Amino acid sequence: MNTVFVRVVERPHRKLILKRGRRAVHYFEYCEEVGCDVWETLSGIREALYEPIGMWLPENMVKPGTSVYAQGVEVSADYAGPVPEGYEIIDLPP
């Protein structure tokens, strides 16, 4: 038996800079589709609130023709800096 710890974290309104996949449902498929340099690009965003993350998006955040799996980094709600080419920025509610 393994122990798993879960912590609920409430975060304020913020933005997410992300790169979507096309059909990927996990990390390895994602790397095959978009390459493995995404993490390095996201790590270069100085204004990031936290480290980059791989994520499974909820249905309401998946655009038609894109995958449920994406990688991104959170930035403040008032972020007005550059967005790397091929990436997008979206709002995240609290």
pLDDT on residue 27: 94
Q: Are 85 and 38 in contact (CB under 8 A)?
A: no
Where are the domains positioned within the chain? Answer: 16-92
* Whole-number Cα distances in Å, 18 to 7, 13, 44, 74: 24, 16, 13, 9
pLDDT recorded at residue 28: 94
Asked if residue 64 has pLDDT above 90, the reply is yes
Per-residue confidence (pLDDT) for residue 69, from 0 to 100: 97
Residue 20 has pLDDT above 90, yes or no: yes
Asked if residue 65 has pLDDT above 90, the reply is yes
* Structure token digits, residue 82: 């550059």
30-58 confidence digits (pLDDT tens):
999 999 899 999 999 999 999 999 999 99
* Per-chain mean pLDDT for the chain: 95
